[in-house]
Structure formats: structure tokens, C-alpha cells
Chains A and B, each alone.
Chain A
Amino acid sequence: MTRTVDGEHLVGQPIDRIDGPAKTTGGARFSAEHAYPGLTHAALVPATVSRGRITAIDTAAAAAVPGVITVLTHGNAPKLNPPKRPTPANLSTLVSGTQVNYLNTDEVHWDGQPVAVVVAETSHAAREAAALVHVSYERLPAVVDFAAEEPNAVAQKGNPVMPGSAKKGDADAALAVAPVTVDARYTTPQHHHNALEPHATTAVWQGDELTVHDSTQSITWLRKHLALRFGVPEAKVRVLAPFVGGGFGGKGFAWPGTIIAVLAARATGRPVRLLLTREDVHRAVGARTPSAQRVALGADTGGRLTALVHTSVTRTSRVGGQPEQVTAPAQHLYDATNIRTAQSQTTLDWMPNTSMRAPGDAIGSFALESAIDELAGELGIDPVELRMRNEPERNPIDGKRFSHRMLREAYALGARRFGWENRSPEPRSTRDGRWLVGMGVATAYHPAMQFTANVTVRLAADGTVTVRCGFQEMGMGNATVQAQIAADALGVPFEAVRVEYGDSALPASVMAGGSMQTSTVAGSVLAACGKLTRRLSTLARRTGMQGRTPTEILTAARVPFIDAAVGSDTRLGALAGQARMLAKVVRDQRTWAKAACGAHFCEVRVDADTGEVRVSRWTAAFDVGRVINRKTAFSQLRGGIVMGIGMALFEEALVDRRTGRIMNPSLSGYHVPVHADVPPIDIACLDEPDPTMPLGILGVGEVGITGVAAAIANAIHHATGSRIRDLPITPDKLVT
């Protein structure tokens, strides 16, 4: 535990997280752990067809289970406003996970769509009854086979934030004449977030006032969205989420569980708790899209890239979903003379896809960074050296300036720590008993963004500071980090700062996503603290207390506290804020190419008999701008790498091509890494602030996972000589 030392900066120190004791002692209350008088329990009934119409629902057996209060279906559920078409003009419309008006329609749009909910006195009764609800369907033809639909994919219409395609020069022509080329297809399956805490909601109506405890990454947007769906003023809705057990993007949107819990509470007039089962989490929450990608590279014999083509096909759903920036890394990483990227989507009768840790970049970097390794092999150039020869001075696709880019330094640092120079270039050249040993490398890259958050900070005469901001804490350490920042900015001890968060009654903030929360909130906290410091010096001058502590100054001025606010929560203020925010994002994106980046180095061991892969060593060196807290930041980066190991070797939703049904909706069937799969992970950060970001922060939540799967695939190739372009790399793909 780090103690505050007077005069020492808190920013940068590995301070223990504020919420640690509450979590380790069980004191922290998560969304399914709130007791209310008269609390009821709900269980979902998922559809078992991919597309169709409900012709009948027999609820008699379910209703007869002792303890059941009601079974809600589209026949008897209260009316719910349909979700609005998503538009960037109203961000709250974007958070609807799907376009389905749950329990208000007889249409079924994916296998797993909830078609009924049981509300009972106990969770056991609810689940037992849910299994007894009998639904009859008229099946309609469904399109569920992603691979078969690939040829029908439609080119993506771009927008300013995510262009569907990009071009510099004529990459295809350059490819045709390049002396050395790689042209390969890469595929990745559907991935599920599988946060430790399943999605949970406790919903309480008091008259037209709604209180919702929800495991969300986005209290502000969820609140707006609930107001919209349930036809009540936003001021009547309060969303609380001080503790969320991991999200990874899976809790960014409003999924059916949340909406149905609120609906059930309205129908019964009693508080409702709905805790999704692990199966529900797979069936009723969006997942990462599968992808099919092509990367084609052309180079001169000296390894200078002349052509880079990266195209992708992903999927959305008839009832929602979104494109992903799969080909974005190809626009930023290499100084190729000619570049073409293009994205297209299929539309399936599936649960809409959703963001999952580094959406687009995680799977896109697998293809691009594998292909670069393949090119290095073709050229006979060390893969690190090849990257250095193509490291750009300006953003390759459009010539924008980098706000800051230290990928060279990251590679140098990582290579040294890892001992890259000991690698023999030949594939399949190192053996340890029955293990084939290989080393791989890949680049990590994730764009950095900053939005705006409303914040108030109060400095009291007793020396305490209260930071209030409706941000979310899913275990990343944001509350701790913001306390460090405020304490430094105001010159008070860490322990003097209290941070209030996770409550929509607080000033509105951004969702936790896009690795932007820390920098965004920090920007506002710093601005508010700046206002306070100025107020304080005015008071000091007035009272002749210059150079004294805040307590002394405020006491002398007979002011019990001073407040500073950034942003406004009034309707007009919020609209203006949103407009300012969008303008700033677009302006920023026009001016700078801004990103966190890094270099992954890994060693793998492949069993020559079975093709089983063990990752035995990992070093990653990152440029994530300034590191505010080494402990929490490194945990984020390490967690990203662990998740990337899962993506490389294990994770895959088995979606039956005939029915569109997920066949492994459990943690025994959907494999995530276990401890034995995770080697010691050595993390290093350059810790150089980005000059354009608050405190120089670039974000650490997502960059860690990017490049990981490629580094492993590259190491496997080095170990075995086999190039696997289809994730996950399970033993069957390697055994010979």
C-alpha cells in the first residue's frame, strides 16, 4: 500500500485501488445484490428459432409453479415504446442493443431472443417456471450461416468517425507489380465477453419514478434510453452502477434483460431482480462479430511496402448491430506507398453484434500483423526490422501529424527486455524435448479519444475534496486514478479526496468504452480543479493568506467550501455539451492521428505430437502516454493480453450453421484461458505524455488485446513452420 508523502506527486504511483477493500471483503454490492422489501425474481424464456412468429405461448404450467407471480408475454406485457432508429444526433438511441420491442411483438429475430419472462417470489421458482413455458412458432426462412453469406456482403457506408473505406494511390496496381507479395485470407469467429459478473438488473418503480441498479458501462445513456422506452421524463429515472464486475463492451448497450426487468417491475408493481444465467449472457447479449479478411501486401526487395490492401467482411443483424473498424490499423501502421482498405457487412438473423474490447482493431490486427510476419518470412527480413523500415513519419493514409508516436522506442525496449536477438530466424529450428519453441512479435495499436464529462469538485474548509462525476467503474481503477489526479491538482493528500461515481444523479459522463473514460474525466477534473485553484488564490489574496493550505485560506475567508463545475446537466446545457463534444471529436480527428501503441513479444511451445500450444513467456512494451497508476494501468494491459491469449487459442462461439443457435453457451463449452494458460507477463511502459491529451493520457483499456493473437500466430509459425490464419488456433489445426 502506497502512503502519501508530502510534496510527492501521486500521479504515476502504483496506488491500491480505493474499492479494493469493499470488493475483497464482500462489502461491495453489485446490481443483483440490492435488497428491497417485496423484491421479486425474474427469469427469461429465450426463443428457440432464428426467425419466426410466435403462434401460441402456453404459460399454464409455469403459472402453476408455487411462488410464481406472473408470466409476461407479448400477449399481456405492458406497452413499451419501440426503440428509435439509431442516430448520432441523439446518442441515447445508439445504446439500444437491438431494434426489437421485447414482449411487445410476436416476431422472433434471433435464436435466444427473450419471448417471455417469469416473475416469482424466488429465483428458483422463476427458473423452474421459465423452463415450463411452452412456445409455438411459425418458422420463417432465416439467414444464419455467416460463411455462406460472405459473398452477399454489402459495402459499408462510412461516417466521419468510421469511414467504411480509405484509399491512397492505387494499391491494387502496385500489388500487381510488386516483386514480393503476400496475399492471404484470415478468419475469426464470434467471441463473447464473458465478464465475471453476469448482466444483472434490479428495477424499482415508485409511481412514475424509476430506480435501476444495472451492470452497465453507460449509466447516462442507459438512463436516457429507459426514459425513452418507458415514456417518463429523464429526471424521473435513476441508474446506479457503482460496482460492475467487468464489461469489455458487453455492458455498453441496453440489452433485453435490463429492459425486461424494468417492464416486469412496472407490470407487477414490485421490485424485480433479473440476473442473467451464463446461458442468457450468451443468447441475450450481443457478441463480437465473426470476420473474414483479406490482407495483401506488396514490397520491394528491401522490404519497403509499396502496396497494402486490407478488406473485411463482418456481420450485423436485421435488428441492429454495427460495422467495426477492422481495417483501421492498416491506415495507421505502415508507411506503404499505396493503401486500400474496405469493409463490408452481411446481415443475418442473429443477435446483433456489439463492441468487444478493441472492436475491429482486435481482429483486424490479427490479420494485418500476421500478414506482415508472412512478408518478413518471404523477404528474409527480421519482422521487427521490417516494421522499423516501414515506420511512418506521418499518418500513412492521409498524412496527418501524429500527436505523438513512440512505436520505435517501444520495440527497442520490448526487444531488449524479451531477448529478441536470441531468436534464430529459421522456423522450426528450436526444440526442447517434444516441444517446438518459437518466438513471435506483433504491433499493438488503438486510437485514443477524448470526449467531455460533466464534473463538480468541492473543496471544503476541513481539507476534504469531493469529486462528483457519473462515470463507471468496472474494475479498471478509474475512481482511484481520478482521486490521484484531483489530489495532485489541489495539493491535498490522496486520503482527503472522495470520488462519487456510478450514479446517474451525478453530473453526466461518457460511457466506459473506447479507452476514453480516464482521459475524458481527467480533462474535466483538471479543469474543475483549475477553477478551484484560481478561486482559492483570489481568496488567499483577499485574506492575505497566500502560500497557505486550502484549509487555512478557506477558514480565514470564512467560506465552508468552494465548488467548481465543468459542463451542465440542464437539457440545453447537455445538448450544447453534446454538440461541443462531437465538434471537438471531429476537429481532433481532423488534426491529429492519435493512438496508444506497443510491441508484443512472446514465446510459445507447441507439442510436436498433438499440436497443443502453450504460451511460455510474454513481454509487452507500450506507449500509452502518461501512466497515472502503474498498478491499475498494468492490470488493464495484462488483462488485455490474457484476453488476447483466449482469442488466439481458445475462444469461439459454436453457432450451428443450420439453425443459428449457439451450441456452447457456458463456460465449460466456451473456453477462456485458465491460469495454466497464462505465463508471467512482463509489462513495460514508456510513460511519455501525449502533448494533446489531458495529463498526456492515451488510454490503456483496449490497446493490450490488439496484436496479441497475431504475436501468438507468428510465434506458432516460428515454432512449427505452420501458418494458421483461422482463429482460434486449436490443436487440430496443427497436428500432423
Chain B
Amino acid sequence: MIPFDYRRPDDIGTAVATVTGNPRAAFLGGGTNLVDHMKLGVAEPELLVDVTGLTSRDIERLPDGGLRVGAGVRNSDLAADPLVRERFPVLAQALLSGASGQLRNLATTGGNLLQRTRCVYFQDVTTPCNKREPGQGCSALEGYHRHHAVLGASRQCVAVHPSDLAVALAALDAVVRVQGPGGERTIPAETLHRLPGEHPERDTVLEHGELITAVDLPGLPFGPRSRYRKARDRASFAFALVSVAAALDVAGGLVRDVRIAFGGLAHKPWRARLAEDALRGRPAAPDEFRAAAEAELADAQPLRDNGFKVPMARNMLVSVLTELSAEDGAA
């Protein structure tokens, strides 16, 4: 670890200006990812600007039945919030499936979204990695890539985004509120993260110095009928091999509306628009769910050792939607 400065500015404007003005400055949330990377030599900021006291730690109601979650809200607080649990169970479930109790107590909403890939080569500075050092090459292509992407990858990088929270937010049409040097802007959660393309070093569309201040969850009448399911290598404390976030609205046996996002398949939470479109207006039945899943996954391009993700994602989606439709029928 290299020496660094630490600051806690009094207001957001100063925080944004400080980081914008210094290419080697970084915002600090709970530090559960950034500090690990500093220890590993993966990140070497010379200045940490602690924003945990600046961004809101509150969850507010929005007029449309939605919620505004401050970027400083801890993962454990967000998961435990009664309104979140009632209106967006998928979100609470996603959070609780991630990391450990101790980590969730520290991790912030903003920091969680911007955590970086768990690709083992990315985390080891002695191995080539385009995400860490563009142009070095991608060690995972021919190396360990069991956890890696089957959708939307490039030859430059086949990493996946590890956040469970981000998958639920993508499904829920959440909107990320960002404060930059030029003022505020909003970004749909679904487009916050990018595909690697020729620039795997860029995880998101954020510019250096842009601060996440809050995440808006628009009201979703069928939000209560939502669910998160995560497949992983052990029962707890493991990142997703594949995860599914889904919300389903069934009327008269037909799918009125549906939201689906996958985790563990791509460099970003994978909003399954093809599957959603295929399902709207169709019978809420397992074979329909299966056909929709297959349509979404048709373009998958597995690597040597991660082909299992395709049937796994398909099975999980069919199962989750089947369970949700049963729940819906009962209601």
C-alpha cells in the first residue's frame, strides 16, 4: 500500500471539485472494495475523499410510490428497510445474498454499484489485464474464466460485474443521480455500467469526479411480486455464478408486464429486454418462460469453461417466473 491523503470535505461541491481536479483522487465509501484494491496494488489513489458523511443516509418516499435511496445508505440498512421489503423485495433479497453481514454494514449504495470485477487476473498486478492496464492483454481468455461473461464480452475483456444490488436496480428501472463538476445528471441504472468493447478499463459511463448522490426507485405497482435468485459456489459469502432479478405482473393468466435482469452473465447487469418483450401478452406458463429465456440467451458466446451459465440462467429464470406467477395467482 502506498501513502495517501485522506479528506472529509464539508460539502458535496468541494468533494466533487477535489476529485475532479486530481486524477489520482478517489471517493471513499465503506472502503470494502477500494481499500482491498489499495492493499493489492490494483488501485493507487494518492487522495481519498470520504463521502460517507456527505451523501444522504436516508431512504425517502417519492410521490409515485417509489423511493429515493441516498448513496450513503449502508447495504444492511437498505435491505432492512420496511418500505424496501414491502415494495421491492427483489432489492432486499439481492442485498442479503451478497457478501457478509459485516461487509454489508460498511458497504454503501454508491460504493456497491461501483465495486469492480472479481476477475482473479484483475486482482493480481503481476498478471496481464486490459482492465487494469489497457493493452496488456486479457489473461482470462485462455485462463480461469469460469465466472466470466457469456454475453456482450469483447476480446479485450470477458469480466463480469459482481454487484447483486446493481442487478436488482437494473430490473427495477432505477435511476442513478449523479453530481458532476458541471452540475447534476441522471443515468438509468441499466446504462450506468458499460460493455467492455475496446475500453475495458471503463466500467461505467461516469466521468472521473462524478459523485453518485442517490438512486431513485420509480414506483412499480407489481414491485411486491419480485424476487432475486442467486446461484453460487457455496451457500453464502460467494459471488454469483448467475443471478436473476425479476418482477412479474399477471392478469387473466397472461403476462401484463415483466422486468428481468441477469447478473453474472456480462460486464454489466444484463437487462433481458428480449425476454420481456417476448413475454408481454403471452400466457404465464413455464414453456413460455423457457422460450423467452432462450431468446434472450441465444446470442451467448461461452468460453471454454463457462458454458454452464447458459442453462443455469435459463433454468433460474423459468423457475423464478414460475414461482412469481404462482404467487400472483394466489394474490
Binding site for B on A (CB under 8 A): 48, 124, 127-128, 131, 434, 607-612, 614, 649-650, 654, 656-659, 661, 663-664, 668-669, 671, 673-677, 730-733, 735-736
Contact = CB atoms under 8 A, between A and B. Distances in A.
A127 B231 contact: no
Contacts of A611: 231, 308, 312
Nearest to B314: A609
Contacts of B232: 612, 731
Given A131-B41, A609-B316, A676-B235, A735 B144 contact: no
B142 A671 contact: no
A731 B311 contact: no
Interface of B: 1-3, 41, 118, 120-121, 123-124, 126-127, 139, 142-144, 146, 231-238, 241-242, 305-306, 308, 311-312, 315-316, 318-319
Contact of B233 (A659, A730, A736): A730
A736 B233 CA distance: 16
Contact of B143 (A612, A656, A733): A656
A284 to B, nearest CB: 15
B236 A674 contact: yes
Interface centre among B1, B234, B235, B236 (most CB of A within 10 A): B234
A614 B235 contact: yes
Nearest to A666: B123
7 contacts: A128-B2, A607-B231, A610-B231, A650-B234, A677-B234, A731-B231, A736-B311
Contact of A676 (B2, B146, B236, B242): B236
A439 to B, nearest CB: 19
A431 to B, nearest CB: 14
Given A609-B315, A610-B242, A611-B312, 7 more contacts: A610-B315, A610-B316, A659-B127, A661-B127, A668-B118, A674-B235, A735-B315
B146 A128 contact: no
B315 A671 contact: no
B5 to A, nearest CB: 15
Q: Give the residue among B41, B306, B312 with the most A Cβ atoms within 10 A.
A: B312
Nearest to A132: B2
A732 B238 contact: no
When A and B form their complex, which 4 residue pairs have the shortest distance between CB atoms, in order from nearest?
A676-B235, A732-B308, A609-B315, A610-B231
B281 to A, nearest CB: 26
A610 B312 contact: yes
B308 A731 contact: yes
A664 B120 contact: yes
B26 to A, nearest CB: 19
B312 A673 contact: no
A732 B146 contact: yes
Contacts of A732: 146, 241, 305-306, 308, 312
A612 B231 contact: yes
B144 A654 contact: yes
Nearest to A609: B315
Contacts of A735: 308, 311-312, 315
A684 B281 CA distance: 59
A128 B1 CA distance: 5
Nearest to A615: B235
Nearest to A732: B308
Contacts of B235: 614, 674, 676-677
Contacts of B127: 656, 659, 661, 663
Contacts of A650: 233-234
Contacts of A733: 308
Contacts of A609: 231, 312, 315-316, 318-319
